Amino acid sequence: MNATSSTPGQPHQPETPDLDLSSDPALTQAKVGTAVFAAASYLLVGILAVIVLYLLWHGARGLSVNFVFGRAAPTSDIGAYSTAGVFDMVYGTVLLVALMVIAVMPIGIITGIYLCEYTDPRSTMARLIRSSVNNLAGVPSIIFGMFGLGFFIYFLGGSIDGYLLGSAEPVFKKPSLLWASLTLAVLTLPVVIVSTEQALRSVPTSFRDAALGLGATRAQTLTRVVLPQAAPGIITGGILAISRGAGEVAPIMLTGATIFSPTLPGSVTDKFMELSYHIYIMCTQPAHVEAGRSQLYSTVVVLLFLTFFLNVTAIFVRARARAYMRRMAHVA
């Protein structure tokens, strides 16, 4: 019996020709594009995995409780100081990043709010600010270090010492934790501004219109409707700022980081030791690189995990903000 013949008692089913999509140019192009993007993604993940595994392989052997929580001590064996312990560097890095976040987040958020909520995007002022932010993002980090040295230390610090304190000994006119954190705040400011503006623009306009229609003022709409909705995106800007600031060397080497300090920084006017600068010093002393290679890799691993911990903490805060917004949406 022919395969296309109908069974007695059943209606005849017309034969449907098979569609050959293999020759469709659009489908072929989509498949090729998907394969290319997938390969690029796997390659990126693979490169990152190789770097991390390489650092862990060479640095994990030197990790110990004494290494992480031990104090640094001066010696002539490895450069200007020993890496018998990196607690001083970890402590200085955490303080530096914390002060940087405290300084950059309010300024960046306020600027992003102004650009998104209080000015016409096509106005001359808005274009000037955005152009300045874009140019600031492309400035080399060493230039920020020179700016911090000239403006914060010599000009601002010298003015405070000369006109406010009247002190013969420099209190603020010297490299310190305060000026280093402010320099990093200027460096990471474009990241926070752009992230804040994009997060605010992602909030639907209907939310603003509904709040204003219910009688809320513009300030109430911003603080009670727009900012809570944009909070996860704003926190993302903080995460990116932390990642950028924690690994910078050039700005802090001119504004506050030191090779060795016998004590932990007790105030913002003290110098401090920092992990990235510590790694830079060890790598730029050829006579001592081989002797301290194991400790160098271990220090890199500590910096890697510290940056990861700071990012995870910020991501946790962002997740809590999103969960809070979902609960508020269900209540409403």
Q: What pLDDT sits at residue 265? A: 92
Residue, of 61 and 140, whose pLDDT is higher: 140
| pLDDT above 60 (res 76) | no
Q: Which of 6-20, 132-146, 153-167, 285-299 has the highest mean pLDDT?
A: 132-146
Which among 235, 239, 238, 234 is positioned nearest to 308, based on CA atoms? 239
| pLDDT above 60 (res 94) | yes
| pLDDT above 90 (res 147) | yes
Q: What pLDDT sits at residue 171? A: 86
Q: What pLDDT sits at residue 179? A: 96
Confidence grade of residue 1 (pLDDT, cut at 50, 70, 90)? very low
| pLDDT above 90 (res 65) | no
Summarize pLDDT for 200-221 with one digit per residue, the tens. 999 998 988 899 898 888 888 9
Q: What pLDDT sits at residue 24? A: 66
Q: Which of 60-69, 144-153, 312-321 has the highest mean pLDDT?
A: 144-153
Residue, of 110 and 18, whose pLDDT is higher: 110
The pLDDT > 70 percentage for the chain reads 86
pTM above 0.85, yes or no: no
Q: Rounded mean pLDDT of 111-128?
A: 89
Q: Rounded mean pLDDT of 80-84?
A: 56
Confidence grade of residue 18 (pLDDT, cut at 50, 70, 90)? low
Domains of the chain: 36-331 (1.10.3720.10)
Q: What pLDDT sits at residue 114? A: 93
Q: Do 50 and 286 meet the contact criterion of CB atoms below 8 Å apart?
A: no
Residue, of 10 and 88, whose pLDDT is higher: 88
Summarize pLDDT for 28-63 with one digit per residue, the tens. 788 888 989 999 999 999 999 999 899 888 888 888
For the chain, what is the mean pLDDT? 84
